[in-house]
Structure 1
Amino acid sequence: MAERKRILSSHSKEIVYNVSTFFESEIQQPTATPVKAFTERTAEATLVSEATVRRIRREKNEKGRLFSPERQKVRGPYKPVDDFDKCAIRQKIHEFYTVRRQLPTIDRLYESLKCDINFPGSKSLLLKIVKELGFKWKRSQTKRKVLIEKDVIVEKRIQYLHRIKDYREKDMNLVYIDETWIDTAYTAKKCWQHEDECGVLEPVSRGQRLIIVHGGGKLGFVPNALLIYKAKSCTGDYHHEMNGENFKKWFTEKLLSNLPEKSVIIMDNASYHSVQFDKCPTTNTKKADIQAWLRLHEIQFDNKLLRPQLLA
C-alpha cells in the first residue's frame, strides 16, 4: 500500500527549505566533493521525498514565503429544521420586540430557542434560517429600533384571519378589490445593460396616468367589473383620484351586479371605502357643530356643557 502523503505546516516547510539551502551551499564550495545532490541529501535528513523538497523550494522562490495547508472543516451531521421550528423562530423574534423589548440578536435567539424548542442546529444555521425568513440586520431609519404594533391592531388581524378561515371552510367565494395606477409611457426601471448596449431608454414624459379598479379571487377577475379612467394628475398618490362617490358607483353598478352567489368582498381601509354619511363628531369638531349634531339627532344636552362633556 502506498505511503500516505505527509501534510507539512509552514514551520516544517521552513526547516526543509533551510536544510536544502545549507546542502546547496556546500555543493557550491570549490573544496566540497559531495557524493549526492543536495535535494537527495535534504530528503534523507528531513525524512520527506525529493519531490516535496523541490515543491517547497519552488513555493519559496515564487511566493516569497511558505504557507500552511488549509484544513478542511469537519461538519457535523445536518439536522433539519421543519416549518414548525421556522414559525417558532419568527414568533420568538416578534416576542423579543413586543414582550421583552430587546433586540433579538442571534446569541439571544439561540439561547432562548434552545430552551423553548430544543433548537437542533448551531448559531450559523440559525442565522441562515433567519435570513431565509426575510429578516435583515440593518440600520434603523428612525431613532426607534422597532415599530411595535398596538395590541388592538394585532387583535384585529387575528379576527380577520379567523373570519377568512371560516369563510373558506364554508366554501365562500372570496373577492379582493383594490385600486392601482399605471403610466401610459411606463418603462422598466432596471434592465441588462452593456457598454455597447444601453438597453431600455426611459422616456422624458410619463404620459397619461390611468387609474385601474378591479376585483377578483381564486375564480379569476370578476367579469365586466374592470374600471379604467384617466387621472387628473400624474404626480403624487393615486388615492386622491378616487373618492367615495366614484367608488360607490363602481361598487354598485359594476361589482355587485356581476358577483356570483356566496361571495365575500374583502377590501382595505382606504378612506373612500368606508365613507360615513352621518359622521359622529370627534375631538377636532367645533363646539357649535357638536351642538348642531346633537339637536339633529334629538339628543338633549345642557348649553353650559363644555366640549369634552358634549362629546361624552
Structure 2
Amino acid sequence: MDATEAKQKNHGGVLTSVMAVQQRTADAVQVSKQTVVRTCAMREIGSDLKRNPYRRSKPRRTDLLENKKHTIRYLIYDMYANKEHVTLDTLLAVIKLKDLCDLGRTSLFYALKEMGFKFKMTNSRRGSCEQSHVVSMRNVFLRKYIRNLESEIPHDFFATTHKASDGKRYIIIHAGGRNGFIEGSSLIFSSTNKSFDYHDNMNAELFEKWFEESFLKKLAQPSIIVLDNASYHTRKSEKIPRASSTKEEISNWLKMKNRPFAKVTPDVWNRCVTHTEEIIKDTFNREKIIDDVRALVFTVTTGSDEESDYLSESDNDV
C-alpha cells in the first residue's frame, strides 16, 4: 500500500475526485499538475518528451562597439533623410541587409535605448526618435564647432580604438589634427580582460593621466580639443552622498562643504528607537484588527427590477 492509498484509507474515501484525472495523476507520480498538463500537450503535438521544455533565453546583446553604435545611429539619420518610417522591424531589416551585426529585436531595442533613442507615437504610428536632451546637446556642439572654424586656432581630435583579434588585444589612444598625429602623444597598452567592449579597459583616472601628461604637454600652441561622449571622458569631481553612503562618507562630505551638523546623543537616539517601536506596534495591532474582521459576502440576485441586492455576513446573522 503506497502513501496515497494509506491517506485515502484514513480519510475514508478518495482524496481527489475521480473526475480530476490530471490532478490524481500528478498526486500519484508526485509531480505538479502543470507538469502533467504540459506533458499531455507535448504528446498531442507530437513533440519529443525527452526534450527539456524549459529553454534558456538568449542573453541580450547591448555591448556593441562604439563604431557599430555610430553606424546604427547614421542609419537612422539616413532613413529619416529618405523619409522612411523608422521602427524596430524596419531598422533591423536594414542592419541585416548590410550585415552590420548579429542583433535580435529585443537586443536592438535596449541598444537604441542605451544610445539615447526612444519611441513615440506619430499619426497613430510608433517610430524611433532621439531624446530631446541628446538633440539639444548635439545642436549646441555643432553651433560652437562651426563658429570656431572661423578662428585660426587649430582643432585637435583624439579617439580610442583597439586591435580586434582572437589573441591578445591592445588599446590605442592617439590625437591629431590637420597636420597629422601629434608626435609622442600615443598610448598603447594590452587589454586586461576579454570583454567584448574595449571601453571596459579604460577609466577616467587613466584617461586624465594620459590627457595631462602625454597630450597637453605635446601641444605646440593653444588648440580646440574635440572629443566624443565616451563614459571615461567625463566624471564627477566629487560624489554626492546617497542613501547607501556610509556615515563616514556623509560626515566627510558635510565637513568639506562646511555644513554644520549636530551629533546624535544616546538619549536622542533612544527616543527615536522608542518612537519607531511604538509605530511598529500600532501598525501590527491595526493589521491584526483588519485580519479579525469577518469577510463580507455580497449576494447579487437577478430578477425583476423591484428586487434588491442582499448583503449578509453569514447565514447565522440576523
TM-score higher than 0.5: no
Max Rg structure: 1
Which structure would you say has the larger RCO, counting Cα contacts within 8 Å and 6 or more residues apart? 1
TM-score (normalizing by structure 1): 0.43
